[in-house]
A and B are shown apart, each in its own frame.
Chain A
Amino acid sequence: MSSQTHHDRLDQATARRLAKLREMPVDTSRLDRLIESRIPPPHAVPDVVFRLRPLRAAAAAVALLAIVGAMIWSLSGGAAQASPQVLAQFHEELVSGKIPAIRVDSIAQANQALAEQWKQAVQIPEIPSEHVIFCCMRQIQDKRVACVLLRGMGDVPVTMAVAKARDMKMSGGEIRAYKGLLFHIYSSGRLNMAMTERDGRWICLISQLPVENLMEIAGEIRF
């Protein structure tokens, strides 16, 4: 390989690594409080559902979205703790389209797309009752977390975050049982989160839907 070609490869690898900094999670809770105290939000903030209504017309066909596998990036072996603020940010950024995401037509296609990029991608489970729209790969500390955006009940968006159970720890929050499953319940602003572990996978559902709806969706997941 010529040195110019190798230099180009180096340059591109550096650029790609810098691009991944876009996925670095940040906690905006303090910034949110500071700004909202100076600029009180209007009472009628447009609901995110309105943004998705055109998609309902455009995406009549059932499309399930890709599964994003979680990858272990660090050799530390320590599990990561996902804060409600970080999870809320994942949801907002996916809903608003601010981060790169993959659209696929089936879970099988999504699994394939992910496996091509991440050899150890975790299989995302099926949720028969939900339409999947987008997916992306995020990171919590040094652990990879797959996020899929679902069109939930009444077209309210739901983000499902999936990772290997050994990569994530659950602590705090209210503990609730539903149909034999144990959930850790959190909230951040207007968003609710229901976190659970099943079949070696850590799963968290994030949405404006009531917690009961999130637990019901989690109960429909097929492993």
Chain B
Amino acid sequence: MPLDPAQATQRFYELIWPLRSEVLRLAKILCGNDADAEDLAQETLLKAFAGIEGFQTGSNARAWLMQILRNARIDRIRSDNRQPQALSLEQADLETAAEQHSEDIDAWAEPEQVMNAFSDQQIIDALQDLPEEIRLTLLLVDVAQLDHGDAAKILQVPLGTIKSRTHRGRAMLRQALLPLAMEMKLVK
């Protein structure tokens, strides 16, 4: 039975409203700037409201919202006719394979200590160097802590692709942070 407007509003404020901080946080990390992030978060929440009737009670509201956020992001990039600034996925395939072979893991002698020395903003800035789909994979898996199955559905890729992109993305993030780590004398 379709929801009347009052029911739809009630449902939105019960199920979706409490997740708005997470939506905004992920939008900030994905977009890398506050203005785009607020626009994306607003659009995501409005689209969630518009589609609230289609959301099944008991299913994963966070995963559902992440799907909407991802689709809204794609729409915005297409409508802006923007080309992603970061490395393309194809180029990343070639470079990261080589990087993983030659990654100077000895430089990261105390990985936990080094990674914790970076501020949130430094991590977010470094993430902007990654291809959009790899950045989004890390957001869904490592930041939002969705399981690989949900992430695969959202990104419409096989499960194995999520696993490989996660590992590649983490290596690429370290590569992006390495110059800063050397500047901060955190690594050799």
Contact = CB atoms under 8 A, between A and B. Distances in A.
B21 A26 contact: yes
Given A42-B9, A42-B13, A21 B111 contact: no
B41 A31 contact: yes
B20 A21 contact: no
B75 interface: no
A3 B144 CA distance: 29
A16 interface: yes
B173 A14 contact: yes
Give chain B's interface residue range (CB within 8 Å of chain A).
35 or more
Interface in A1-36: 3, 6-7, 9-22, 24, 26, 28, 30-32, 34-35
B13 A32 contact: no
Interface string B37-73: 0100110011001000000000000000000000000
Interface in B1-49: 6, 9-10, 12-14, 18-22, 24-25, 28-29, 38, 41-42, 45-46, 49
Q: Among A19, A22, A31, find the residue whose CB has the most chain B CB atoms closer than 10 A.
A: A31
Given A17-B118, A41-B9, A98 B143 contact: no
B25 A15 contact: no
Nearest to B37: A26
Give chain A's interface residue range (CB within 8 Å of chain B).
35 or more
B79 interface: no
A70 to B, nearest CB: 15
B14 A46 contact: yes
Nearest to A21: B143
Nearest to B170: A14
B90 to A, nearest CB: 23
B95 interface: no
Given A16-B115, A19-B142, A6 B25 contact: no
B21 A19 contact: no
B83 interface: no
A28 B21 contact: yes
A77 B2 CA distance: 56
Contacts of A11: 167, 170-171
A40 B171 CA distance: 45
26 contacts: A10-B108, A12-B111, A13-B115, A14-B115, A14-B142, A16-B115, A17-B116, A18-B142, A21-B25, A21-B29, A22-B143, A24-B25, A24-B29, A26-B21, A28-B24, A30-B38, A31-B20, A35-B46, A41-B9, A41-B13, A46-B14, A73-B119, A89-B21, A92-B18, A98-B21, A98-B22
Given A42-B10, A42-B13, 20 more contacts: A7-B103, A10-B105, A11-B170, A14-B170, A14-B173, A15-B142, A15-B166, A18-B123, A19-B142, A20-B116, A21-B25, A21-B143, A24-B28, A24-B120, A31-B20, A31-B38, A35-B46, A38-B46, A39-B9, A92-B21
Interface of A: 3, 6-7, 9-22, 24, 26, 28, 30-32, 34-35, 38-42, 45-46, 73-74, 89, 92-93, 96, 98, 139, 142
